[in-house]
Structure 1
Amino acid sequence: MIILIRKRHVAYVVLLCCFVAGLSAVLWHGNAAFTAAFAPGEEGASPVVVVDAGHGGEDGGAVAADGTVESGLNLAIARRVRDLLTFAGVPTTVTREGDAAIYDPGSATLREKKVSDLHNRVALVNELPGAVLLSIHQNSLPSSPSTRGAQVFWNRQEGAEELASSIQESLNGAVNAGHEKKAAQVPSSVYLMKEITAPGVLVECGFLSNAAETEQLKDPAYQTKLAAAIAAGVLNSDKR
């Protein structure tokens, strides 16, 4: 009986994977706008979605009341987004693989490391023809601990607003029930989003100032749910 159940379970997983692969193929190859947006550039290079896990290393970003650090959550969600998009056939790369910033070796102070890290992220994106930036972050608003929900911001480059709106719609349906939000233009003070020459969106996955949402954000299953919603928004967008 145990063997039979396991066989059925394996068969179910295989069928599920085939279904997801088929659906991904339809979304990837069957959408004319999708195919056009990811057509090779003038130099024949394939465009790439750059999945950016915000902060890293000494720069932990926002910190929750229980000590949860933003950078680790960003990395966990970014890895899942990268894996899902890769599975769907979307060319992807990441700005960091582990819990470390990408500053130059000569950087000494924390400020120098932060500045160097941001410059290197900008350079990474701008050196990829046709790149699209997808930056993963967590929000925090200690003055309003009840505020919660995922929100997406776009930069001023062509196609970014459409991509942000698609991801926001997906997140509203998946995790923002009762707390629906609208995608918005990113503030000009966000250096990375201002300096890149590619379409870019910044996803604030939740509020570390909200204790209940922090617990959700720490849950691997919820991280996967967020990543799936973000990936679905990318796949359903006219700018991918």
Structure 2
Amino acid sequence: MKRKLLSWALLGALASATCYYLLFQPGLEQRSVFSAVRCPGQTVVIDAGHGGEDGGAVSLSGVPESGINLSIALKLDQILGLYGVAPVLLRSEDVSLHDSSAQTLREKKVSDLHNRVAVIEAAENATLISIHQNTFQGARYHGAQVFYANPELSLPLAQLTQDLLRQTLDPGNTRAPKPIPDTVYLMNHITCRAILVECGFLSNPEEDLLLQTAGYQTKLASTLAAAWLQFQELEPVPTTNEEA
């Protein structure tokens, strides 16, 4: 099992390098040119947490997490695309997804969350990967941690993702996946498989700076992509009505 996990990590690293060459070299436009030829009938929904006026947590260096979340989400989208997966991005810009009728910041946050839930629930056989950054009073904590809402649906993917994040990025990370708190609206109002990944602690000086680098963001995205792809090999393929 460990050897297989490591092979997926190497595969993810290769994908990220190829993705960078094709999509992020100076003079080349970022583009989405991939079709869903892998995992047909299933949808990966990528949620870059927060956005717009809601910047989320702010790092020690004054950077809001919303931009970091978006950078990782865009890289994850492109890497999965190299494997024929066509994800749904809840946002591809630094914007809130609220209705135009929302006026106050609170109204915008509520509307944004409701709209995200609606998109996720409308997706066919969806799996949500929600990307966030952690923070804490004090600088001693670091490392990624995965949360899940529905244990029966989501715990296997959460455990696989946590294991792969530890093995590829932070061997000393002893964190285990945890149930999401009831206070997290998005994760508690959807019915599909879902994980929320706190990629690191913005309250830790070293990790704060690391999370802002394109290289580490690409490693995170590659690992999340590798976890999803391996999970598809472990899960039985859903049977459609035509196949029944």
Q: TM-score, structure 2 length as denominator? A: 0.78
Corresponding residue of 1:135: 130
CA–CA distance in 2 between the matches of 1:225 and 1:129? 28
Q: Deviations over 1:51-108 (max 9, x none)?
A: 0000000000000121011000000001111111111112311000100010000100
Tell me by how many angstroms 1:209 deviates: 0.5
**Displaced runs of 4 or more, over 4 A:** none
Is 1:104 equivalent to 2:102 in the alignment? no
Q: Which runs of 5+ in 2 are unaligned?
A: 1-13, 19-35, 238-244
Q: Which runs of 5+ in 1 are unaligned?
A: 1-12, 18-27, 30-34, 40-45
Listed as ranges, the matches of 1:192-203 within 5 Å are 192-203=186-197
Listed as ranges, the matches of 1:136-151 within 5 Å are 136-142=131-137, 144-151=138-145
Larger Rg: 1
Tell me by how many angstroms 1:236 deviates: 1.4
3-state SS, counterpart of residue 49 of structure 1: strand
Corresponding residue of 2:155: 161
- Whether the aligned pair in 1 keeps the contact of 2:60 and 2:208 (CA below 8 Å) is no
- Whether the aligned pair in 2 keeps the contact of 1:157 and 1:200 (CA below 8 Å) is no
RMSD: 2.0
Tell me by how many angstroms 1:140 deviates: 0.3
Listed as ranges, the matches of 1:1-240 within 5 Å are 38=39, 46-142=41-137, 144-156=138-150, 158-237=152-231, 238-239=234-235
Q: TM-score, structure 1 length as denominator? A: 0.79
- Whether the aligned pair in 2 keeps the contact of 1:147 and 1:210 (CA below 8 Å) is yes
- Whether the aligned pair in 1 keeps the contact of 2:145 and 2:175 (CA below 8 Å) is yes
Letter of the structure 2 residue corresponding to residue 161 of structure 1: L
Tell me by how many angstroms 1:157 deviates: 6.0
3-state SS, counterpart of residue 236 of structure 1: helix
